[in-house]
């Protein structure tokens, strides 16, 4: 089994490198920038900043967060949600990267956070809230929520949530375990997506079931940081050492065929006779890159269910070759728990559109520099105590030197996107950035993916004094 796993991983590395090179050269041969940049610096800034959001907090381990996203697909298949739990003292932040369309990503980005937030409420309190008519959205206060479900589908989702809530407060647990809460919320929502498509077949429920999404969720409560991940979004912690050096600590692993343990897990779940067909061409059944995802029931339902529910609408090709012993895909998350310390300065959550072009260490350096340079974007404030002219002169000299390093963007997520698309060894190059932002829709996907980023800043003073 070990030799087979290593062989699959090695094959994928070579094939993926060849495919990437081939795609890039084919795209470059058909489209090259000529003449002056098509977009002015003003145009570039308008595009990059159109979807940015910043949220500040008072008290607690989180000072603020910056988020942003830039589309490649039309419509964008990435989604994001950030919200404060209403009945508990936690902050939830999520990045969701869809495939096969945006439907699953959009739906789970709202519903998963509600399932988690409700699961954190003590059973007796939850029972009171539900009996008093609390709906799913009342358990989390979203900070950047601009969309709502249409009434037809909203009613179905509320019925599913209500059943889930009743099971929560009727279940006796030995003790609270955050790991169990997160895992149960992921799996239960995935089961509900399946049941809704089977019990209420429609264009909307089936589009969610046939598309899929990977998910990355962070829950922060005081010094406790939990990360739950399904798929290939990544979370990176930016930590500073005693000597002032930045360290990038990756808190997630990608669930794809580069992950030896993940490949071994998948092969062990199916008969030895399928060892050459479960992963083909470095993809699940030769089709899907992530080896864990929500939705994607064409890799989870039985063949009989697919023939009855899906084939009449989507055709025989919806059933993958060698589809023998489903399910082949799981929505069970991998969970990491980290206790924050004053050295932990920020957390970067991002879809793979960022990691396609940047390493964790590069992103941490960029955010660290941005964090220090951002101070010079604020108005100069003199201390309240008496100060001499010499001290004022020194402050102005320091500020003048610092202003040369001030970032162009206040939002760190925007700063990362700008550097991701336009960064060179000499800094951000406008012509490169303009080119990447003005690529025609029919080829832009060959050069870049949807990018969604959230950067969370921690309060070092709070973490220095809070109990663990």
* Structural domains of the chain sorted by starting position, each given as residue range(s) with its CATH number in brackets: 36-465 (3.60.40.10)
Residue 306 to residue 432: CA distance in whole angstroms: 46
Residue 449 to residue 354: CA distance in whole angstroms: 8
Which runs of consecutive H residues, i.e. helices, occur in 404-451? Answer: 412-422, 430-437, 444-447
Q: What is the pTM of this model?
A: 0.88
3-state secondary structure of 316: helix
- DSSP state at residue 314: H
pLDDT for position 240: 96
Contact 416, 70 (CB under 8 A): no
pLDDT for position 375: 55
Q: Where are the beta strands (DSSP E) in 209-361?
A: 212-221, 224-230, 234-240, 246-250, 279-280, 283-284, 294-295, 334-339, 344-350
Residues in the chain, overall count = 468
Residue 47 to residue 37: CA distance in whole angstroms: 15
- DSSP state at residue 33: -
Reduced 3-state DSSP string for the chain: CHHHHHHHHHHHHHHHHHHHHHHHHHHHHHCCCCCCCCCCHHHHHHHHHCCCEEEECCCCCEEEEEEEEECCCCCCCEEEEEEEECCCCCEEEEEEEEECCCHHHHHHHHHHHHHHHHHCCCHHHHHHHHHCCCCHHHHEEECCCCCCCCHHHHHHHHHHHHHHHHHHHCCCCCCCCHHHHHHHHHHHHHHHHHHHHHHCCCHHHHHHHHCEEEEEEEEEECCEEEEEEECCCEEEEEEECCCCCEEEEECCCCCCCCCHHHHHHHHHCCCHHHCCCCEECCEECCCECCCECEECHHHCCCHHHHHHHHHHHHCHHHCCCCCCCCCCCECCCEEEEEECCCCEEEEEEECHHHHCCCCHHHHHHHHHHHHHHHHHHCCCCCCCCCCCHHHHHHHHHHHHHHHCCCCCCCCHHHHHHHHHHHEECCEECHHHHHHHHCCCCCCHHHHCCCEEEEEEEECHHHHHHCCC
Ranges in the chain, pLDDT < 70: 1-36, 172-174, 374-384, 392, 395-406
Say how many C-beta atoms besides its own lie within 10 A of residue 385's C-beta: 5
């Amino acid at each position: 089994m070990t030799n087979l796993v290593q062989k699959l991983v090695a094959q994928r590395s070579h094939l993926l490198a060849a495919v990437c090179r081939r795609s890039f050269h084919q795209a470059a041969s058909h489209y090259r920038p000529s003449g002056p940049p098509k977009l002015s610096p003003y145009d570039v800034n308008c595009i990059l900043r159109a979807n940015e959001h910043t949220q500040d907090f008072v008290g607690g381990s989180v000072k603020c967060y910056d988020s942003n996203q830039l589309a490649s697909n039309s419509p964008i298949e990435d989604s994001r949600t950030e919200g404060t739990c209403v009945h508990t003292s936690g902050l939830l932040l999520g990045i969701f990267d869809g495939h096969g369309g945006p439907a699953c990503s959009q739906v789970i980005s709202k519903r998963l956070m509600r399932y988690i937030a409700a699961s954190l409420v003590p059973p007796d309190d939850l029972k009171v809230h539900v009996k008093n008519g609390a709906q799913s959205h009342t358990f989390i206060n979203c900070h950047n929520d601009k969309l709502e479900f249409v009434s037809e589908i909203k009613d179905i989702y509320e019925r599913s949530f209500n059943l889930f809530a009743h099971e929560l407060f009727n279940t006796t647990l030995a003790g609270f375990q955050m790991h169990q809460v997160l895992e149960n919320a992921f799996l239960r929502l995935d089961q509900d997506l399946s049941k809704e498509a089977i019990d209420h077949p429609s264009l909307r429920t089936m589009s969610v079931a046939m598309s899929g999404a990977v998910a990355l969720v962070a829950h922060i409560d005081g010094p406790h940081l939990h990360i739950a991940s399904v798929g290939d979004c990544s979370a990176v912690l930016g930590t500073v050492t005693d000597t002032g050096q930045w360290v990038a600590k990756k808190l997630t692993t990608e669930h794809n065929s580069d992950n030896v343990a993940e490949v071994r897990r998948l092969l062990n779940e199916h008969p030895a006779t399928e060892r050459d067909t479960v992963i083909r061409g470095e993809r699940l059944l030769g089709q899907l890159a992530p080896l864990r995802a929500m939705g994607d029931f064409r890799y989870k339902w039985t063949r009989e269910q697919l023939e009855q529910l899906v084939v009449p609408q989507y055709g025989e090709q919806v059933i993958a070759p060698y589809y023998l012993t489903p399910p082949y895909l799981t929505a069970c998350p991998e969970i990491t728990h980290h206790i924050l310390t004053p050295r932990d300065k920020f957390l970067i959550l991002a879809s793979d559109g960022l990691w396609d072009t940047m390493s964790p260490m590069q992103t941490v350096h960029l955010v660290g520099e941005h964090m220090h340079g951002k101070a010079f974007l604020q108005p100069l404030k003199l201390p309240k105590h008496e100060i001499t002219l010499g001290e004022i002169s020194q402050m102005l000299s320091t500020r003048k030197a610092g202003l040369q390093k001030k970032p162009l963007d206040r939002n760190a997520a925007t700063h990362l996107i700008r550097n991701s698309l336009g960064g060179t060894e000499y800094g951000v190059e406008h012509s490169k950035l303009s080119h990447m932002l003005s690529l025609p829709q029919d080829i832009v996907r060959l050069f870049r993916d949807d990018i969604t980023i959230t950067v969370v800043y921690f309060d070092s003073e709070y973490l220095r004094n809070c109990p663990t």
